[in-house]
Structure 1
Amino acid sequence: MLKKLIINNFAIISQLQLDFKSGMTTLTGETGAGKSIIIDALGLLVGSRSSIDFVRTGQNSLTVQGLFEVSKNSPVFVILDKYGIKHEDNTIIIKREINRKGRNVCRLNNELVKTNVLKEVGRFLVEIHGQNQSQELLDEDNHIDILDRYASDEFVSLLADYQIKYQDFQAKKSRLRMIQKDSQNIAQRIDMLKFQIEEIDSAQLEPGEDDSLEEEKNHLENFEKISSSLQASYEILSENNSGVVDALGNVRQQLDAIKEFDSAYQELYESIDGAYYQVQDDMATISDEIDGLDFDENRLDNIQKRLIVLDNLKKKYGPTLDEVIQFGIDAHDELSKIDMDDSSEENLKKQIDAQQSQLMDMVEKISKERHVTAKSLIKSINHELKDLYMKNARFDVDFSVLSADSMTAKGIDQIRFTLKTNIGEDYKPLVKVASGGELSRVILAFESIIAEKMNVETIVFDEIDTGVSGRVAQSIGDKIYRVAQSLQVLCISHLPQVAAMSDQQFQITKKTANNKTETEVSLLDSQERIEAISLMLAGTKITDLTREHAKELLELAQGEQEKLE
């Protein structure tokens, strides 16, 4: 769950630190005070898109930090291990900084990470529900995905297996279309690849071969010069009585006689002594080189011919020999992928027909499982709607089936959620039948069910109770409180009934000073909650009567909590 949230220079928030606890927490206050800004800041921590517009006016950057406490078996730790991020206990610390130049710095347990890692971790930490989720529910294209969220683990595995096979099926169909459209070009490409492969393979290239041949060629072309230079060098070093070795030997002998008299003489002796033996070694090396000299005119001719072959290949496929070798490897790979025997039109048609039959068997199973899921969802949603004082409302899932040729990555089902709110009416698409208050309750019904299946630590309801009042408001408060028995819940609400049901209440206000607007947050004690809820009941002026009503509402809420627990 979210334990601490620290916000600096975010919109109209200058500095803010909030400490949360488990259960249900409400954020209350007037519209525009900054309640949703707090949720937006929390969204940044779990990977939401950033904007330089979030940075407070007059400041260069904003920072948001969050401390989360997660369960020991949370999938978060698997993700941390995948990215090599250290974790020693059950706490996760996330920090995000955004400056006016658009620079975005994300840290997870003090390790720099990319935004996609925050998203990957964040989906197991926080789930935010609000107006965006309303839009999701009203878009019929999303209904099949929403239904699948409530399916069994076996269904999820079956759908994932189908989607892998479906992707391969589509790839084969695309391949077939390409072959049918451009089979002549493919045949020409194959001929070209085979020629290139034969030309390169027949050369039997070795990495670095051209460099070593050039060096050997250089030796052979300069054989006479090399031979005469080595012979002259050997003679200069070894010539009797006047050679360099003899001269060094004489100097060495003279210095040996006086080296004990002065450290400087000792150093000279050691230097000449080293040179003497080094020159002797060099003489031996020169002698070996002379003995190894062998001029082979045929070898020179072969090297020159081989270098011409290599140069021609480098001009075609180079410019370096390594690139020629890689070109050959790539040509082999490409040819293997478009081999006419394996990817012929007739062969692909047979594969596609067989795979389509296999996929149809799978989508029939998927559709059957979806109908089972839909029955369970319908029953659960209608039960929730009854609890939310929509006793005559009926929710349903409408199925239509695509043809085999029209199957998608989701199968052959087309899903549409329908609703009728009164007895005697027909089912109609959700977007056409639900009023604002009814839609809020339908959304909450969905969220109440999904909360039990969600693998997250914290769920946020951002004004999920918009458009309702009275006993419906109380039922919404009860429903949210029930969710809070298994998850930490943060809730933005304008309803006194919902606020009264919370375990913790923050009051959000804003003030203006020095031509700047500032959001302030207060954790309310028992007496302050009475005042805040009185204001929510009265709207403007608090009276003794509204205080009594607020106190009574809190007492009734406590009774409701005890029953729900």
Structure 2
Amino acid sequence: MLAELSIRNFAIIEAITVSFERGLTVLTGETGAGKSIIIDAIGLLVGGRGSAEFVRYGTKKAEIEGLFHIDPAHPTVQKLEDIGIEFTDDMVVLRRDISSSGKSICRVNGKLVTLGILREIGQTLIDIHGQHEHQDLMQSDKHLSLLDQFGDGSIGPALIEYREIYSRFKKIQLQMRNLTENEQQMAHRLDLIQYQLEEITKAELSPNEDEELMEEKMRLGNFEKLFSALQDVYHSLHGDNKGLDWVGLAMSQLESVSDLDEELKSYHEEVANQYYLLEETVGKLNTYRDQLEFDPARLDFVEERLNEIQVLKRKYGESVEEILEYAASIEDEVDELVNREDRVEELESDLKSIKADLSVEADNLTGLRKTVARVLVDAIHHELRDLYMEKTKFAIHFNEIDNKNEPFHKSGKDDIDFMISTNPGEPLKQLSKTASGGELSRIMLALKSIFSRHQGITSIIFDEVDTGVSGRVAQAMAEKIQRLSSGSQVLVITHLPQVAAMADHHLYISKEETGEGRTKTSVGNLSNEEQIEELGRMISGAEMTELTKKHARELLLQANQIKS
């Protein structure tokens, strides 16, 4: 859930910090006080489009920061791990700064991220619905994914299996397209890669050859220095009165007294071990020195070979291994292009086979979706009845895909529309063609009541989605929003007293003029008595009477009885 929100120099907001709780939080206040501005700030915090116009006049930048508490199993945690952001104490902190020049800086848990990553993470934390945001639910291209989310238990595994086959299907299609689209281009490509393959093959490279040649070049180029140093080492250790003699003498002396003290035996053993190791090393160094020889012809060959390899590196890879890998890849391509006709026939056969498998999996998905669709339709009808839309008919229409040559897409072969008829006798129409704003608000709330359970969103925000409703419908919407907040977090901006009365937490947004002639917004928690005053204002407008207060108390009492 969203636990705390801090906003500085944003529009008419100078500086506010608001703490939020679970359950239903209602934000009310006079028109223009800044209620929607707070929601705009949250929208920017989770990746919305920003501009310099949001920065408070006369300041350098707007700052928005939000603290979220989430469960370790929440989808956000996996996204954080994928991009290397640390997650500790079950907290996520989002921050966004917008400068007066319009530049935006985004951070997640203190780490700089792109706006795209901020949006990707933000979408898993908050779902914002404004007066027109419900248009998202009415876009046909979103309906299939919503149906799949609702029926994830049965549709999910089948969709994963389908997509694995679809991925292979698209890969074969691409290979066929590359082999059949442009013969002249393929002929040029074949000439090029045959020349490249011949050049690499002719070089007869071996793995790590460049590294071995560099080592040999170092030895050959520094022959005199190597020989002189090894000569000095050998003569320092081997010979009369040299290093080994003195170590041998020390070993003999320790041996002669080791019977006198147990501790000296261990010292004798250590010195003896070192003597024999040093003696062995001297022998190896002597052999290495004797094998050294200065060979100018070999040095020339090594340098020429390294130059040859360097030319190939500039063309085909940064190392010999990369060059050989490239050669292997173009060898396969040469074979494919030379035997193009046979390869096309083979791919056509593969495509026919995989297309048959794809069709079976797509049909299975369609069957599962139609079963889930019937359950979803019943669930939405139930939600609509609660909102006094019992005569409204909702349906899910499965459309035929027009393209017969390519009937499949990444989610199957289905194309669906959510259809609705709000009045008896009227035909079913697409949601986008449904009539009044009040009807749209109720339909949207009914859909959200269903889909929010399956989307894993931490917090849901409604910005005046109750516009255009009143009376018993307003009461029904209030109860629906309250139930939606049970066990989660819902934030609502409302002008309806019925919704405000359902609040578990009531915040009042106000604005005032400062001594400098500027306007600033402030947020305060309402006490029980202050909440009654605010409900009375929402019921009657400017004039407050005892009757209005009585009505407000009754409304609050009724709301508490419904909640309990």
Q: TM-score category by the smaller chain? A: 0.7 to 0.9
Q: Kindly state the Cα deviation for residue 16 of structure 1 after the two structures are TM-superposed.
A: 1.0
Identity of aligned residues (%): 33
2:545 paired with 1:543 = yes
1:496 and 1:155, CA in 2 relative to 1: closer, same or farther beyond 3 A?
same
1:124 and 1:137, CA in 2 relative to 1: closer, same or farther beyond 3 A?
closer
Q: Kindly state the Cα deviation for residue 418 of structure 1 after the two structures are TM-superposed.
A: 1.1
Does the aligned pair in 2 maintain the 1:395–1:417 contact within 8 Å? yes
Residue in structure 2 matched with residue 377 of structure 1 by the alignment: 376
Q: Kindly state the Cα deviation for residue 111 of structure 1 after the two structures are TM-superposed.
A: 5.2
- Find the aligned partners of 1:337 and 1:60 in 2 and give their Cα distance: 57
Does the aligned pair in 2 maintain the 1:4–1:67 contact within 8 Å? yes
Residue in structure 1 matched with residue 28 of structure 2 by the alignment: 28
- Find the aligned partners of 1:409 and 1:364 in 2 and give their Cα distance: 14
Q: Which runs of 5+ in 1 are unaligned?
A: 235-283
Letter paired with 2:32: G
Letter paired with 1:153: G
1:492 and 1:204, CA in 2 relative to 1: closer, same or farther beyond 3 A?
closer
For the residue of structure 1 that corresponds to 2:62, the secondary structure is strand
2:63 paired with 1:63 = yes
Does the aligned pair in 2 maintain the 1:107–1:113 contact within 8 Å? yes
- Find the aligned partners of 1:86 and 1:138 in 2 and give their Cα distance: 35
Letter paired with 1:452: R
1:448 and 1:204, CA in 2 relative to 1: closer, same or farther beyond 3 A?
closer
Q: Kindly state the Cα deviation for residue 75 of structure 1 after the two structures are TM-superposed.
A: 4.1
- Find the aligned partners of 2:358 and 2:291 in 1 and give their Cα distance: 74
Q: Kindly state the Cα deviation for residue 77 of structure 1 after the two structures are TM-superposed.
A: 4.4
Which of 532, 535, 538 is matched with 2:534 structurally? 532
Residue in structure 1 matched with residue 148 of structure 2 by the alignment: 148
For the residue of structure 1 that corresponds to 2:209, the secondary structure is coil
Does the aligned pair in 2 maintain the 1:131–1:464 contact within 8 Å? yes
For the residue of structure 2 that corresponds to 1:406, the secondary structure is coil
Residue in structure 1 matched with residue 7 of structure 2 by the alignment: 7
Q: Kindly state the Cα deviation for residue 361 of structure 1 after the two structures are TM-superposed.
A: 0.7
1:66 and 1:405, CA in 2 relative to 1: closer, same or farther beyond 3 A?
closer
- Find the aligned partners of 2:46 and 2:387 in 1 and give their Cα distance: 31
**What is the root-mean-square deviation of aligned Cα atoms in Å?**
3.7
1:28 and 1:344, CA in 2 relative to 1: closer, same or farther beyond 3 A?
same
Letter paired with 2:399: S
1:486 and 1:192, CA in 2 relative to 1: closer, same or farther beyond 3 A?
same
Which of 318, 327, 332 is matched with 2:314 structurally? 318
Map of 1:50-449 to 2, 5 A cutoff? 50-71=50-71, 73-80=73-80, 83=84, 85-88=86-89, 90-100=90-100, 102-108=103-109, 110=110, 115=115, 118-131=118-131, 133-181=133-181, 182=183, 183-201=186-204, 206-208=209-211, 211=214, 300-301=296-297, 303-305=299-301, 307-308=303-304, 310-315=306-311, 317-318=313-314, 323=319, 326-336=322-332, 339-340=335-336, 344-402=343-401, 403=404, 405-449=406-450
Aligned residues: 505
1:189 and 1:519, CA in 2 relative to 1: closer, same or farther beyond 3 A?
same
For the residue of structure 2 that corresponds to 1:28, the secondary structure is strand
1:400 and 1:113, CA in 2 relative to 1: closer, same or farther beyond 3 A?
closer
Residue in structure 2 matched with residue 504 of structure 1 by the alignment: 505
Q: Kindly state the Cα deviation for residue 486 of structure 1 after the two structures are TM-superposed.
A: 2.5
- Find the aligned partners of 2:408 and 2:168 in 1 and give their Cα distance: 14
Q: Kindly state the Cα deviation for residue 476 of structure 1 after the two structures are TM-superposed.
A: 0.4
Q: Kindly state the Cα deviation for residue 359 of structure 1 after the two structures are TM-superposed.
A: 0.8
- Find the aligned partners of 1:69 and 1:217 in 2 and give their Cα distance: 66
Residue in structure 1 matched with residue 490 of structure 2 by the alignment: 489
Q: Kindly state the Cα deviation for residue 416 of structure 1 after the two structures are TM-superposed.
A: 1.1
Q: Kindly state the Cα deviation for residue 33 of structure 1 after the two structures are TM-superposed.
A: 1.8
1:326 and 1:71, CA in 2 relative to 1: closer, same or farther beyond 3 A?
closer
Q: Kindly state the Cα deviation for residue 295 of structure 1 after the two structures are TM-superposed.
A: 7.2
Please give the per-residue CA displacement for 1:372-429, whole angstroms capped at 9, x wherever unaligned: 1211111111111111111211111111132462211121111111111111111112
For the residue of structure 1 that corresponds to 2:350, the secondary structure is helix
- Find the aligned partners of 1:125 and 1:447 in 2 and give their Cα distance: 15
1:311 and 1:131, CA in 2 relative to 1: closer, same or farther beyond 3 A?
same
For the residue of structure 2 that corresponds to 1:456, the secondary structure is coil
Does the aligned pair in 1 maintain the 2:316–2:322 contact within 8 Å? no
- Find the aligned partners of 1:449 and 1:442 in 2 and give their Cα distance: 11
For the residue of structure 2 that corresponds to 1:520, the secondary structure is strand
For the residue of structure 1 that corresponds to 2:63, the secondary structure is strand
Does the aligned pair in 2 maintain the 1:62–1:97 contact within 8 Å? yes
For the residue of structure 1 that corresponds to 2:360, the secondary structure is helix
Letter paired with 1:128: I
Does the aligned pair in 2 maintain the 1:190–1:339 contact within 8 Å? no
Please give the per-residue CA displacement for 1:280-307, whole angstroms capped at 9, x wherever unaligned: xxxx9xxx99x959878xx544554564
Does the aligned pair in 2 maintain the 1:207–1:322 contact within 8 Å? no
- Find the aligned partners of 2:316 and 2:187 in 1 and give their Cα distance: 32
Q: Kindly state the Cα deviation for residue 72 of structure 1 after the two structures are TM-superposed.
A: 5.6
Does the aligned pair in 2 maintain the 1:396–1:419 contact within 8 Å? yes
1:472 and 1:337, CA in 2 relative to 1: closer, same or farther beyond 3 A?
farther
Q: TM-score, normalised by structure 1?
A: 0.79
Does the aligned pair in 1 maintain the 2:391–2:424 contact within 8 Å? yes
Q: Kindly state the Cα deviation for residue 27 of structure 1 after the two structures are TM-superposed.
A: 0.7
Residue in structure 2 matched with residue 246 of structure 1 by the alignment: none
Q: Kindly state the Cα deviation for residue 456 of structure 1 after the two structures are TM-superposed.
A: 3.0
- Find the aligned partners of 1:352 and 1:163 in 2 and give their Cα distance: 15
Q: Kindly state the Cα deviation for residue 210 of structure 1 after the two structures are TM-superposed.
A: 5.3
- Find the aligned partners of 1:391 and 1:218 in 2 and give their Cα distance: 94
Q: TM-score, normalised by structure 2?
A: 0.79
Does the aligned pair in 1 maintain the 2:62–2:98 contact within 8 Å? yes
Please give the per-residue CA displacement for 1:212-270, whole angstroms capped at 9, x wherever unaligned: 565677679xx9xx9xx98xx99xxxxxxxxxxxxxxxxxxxxxxxxxxxxxxxxxxxx
- Find the aligned partners of 1:375 and 1:10 in 2 and give their Cα distance: 46
Q: Kindly state the Cα deviation for residue 543 of structure 1 after the two structures are TM-superposed.
A: 3.3
Letter paired with 2:65: Q
1:553 and 1:348, CA in 2 relative to 1: closer, same or farther beyond 3 A?
same
For the residue of structure 2 that corresponds to 1:410, the secondary structure is coil
For the residue of structure 1 that corresponds to 2:38, the secondary structure is helix
Q: Which has the larger radius of gyration?
A: 1
Stretch moving more, 116-125 or 498-507: 116-125
Please give the per-residue CA displacement for 1:82-138, whole angstroms capped at 9, x wherever unaligned: 5351524x4444444343452514141x55555555445444432222345322123
Q: Which runs of 5+ in 2 are unaligned?
A: 233-281
Letter paired with 1:560: I
Stretch moving more, 47-56 or 72-81: 72-81
1:318 and 1:138, CA in 2 relative to 1: closer, same or farther beyond 3 A?
closer
Q: Kindly state the Cα deviation for residue 337 of structure 1 after the two structures are TM-superposed.
A: 5.6
1:314 and 1:548, CA in 2 relative to 1: closer, same or farther beyond 3 A?
same
Residue in structure 2 matched with residue 39 of structure 1 by the alignment: 39
Letter paired with 1:474: Q
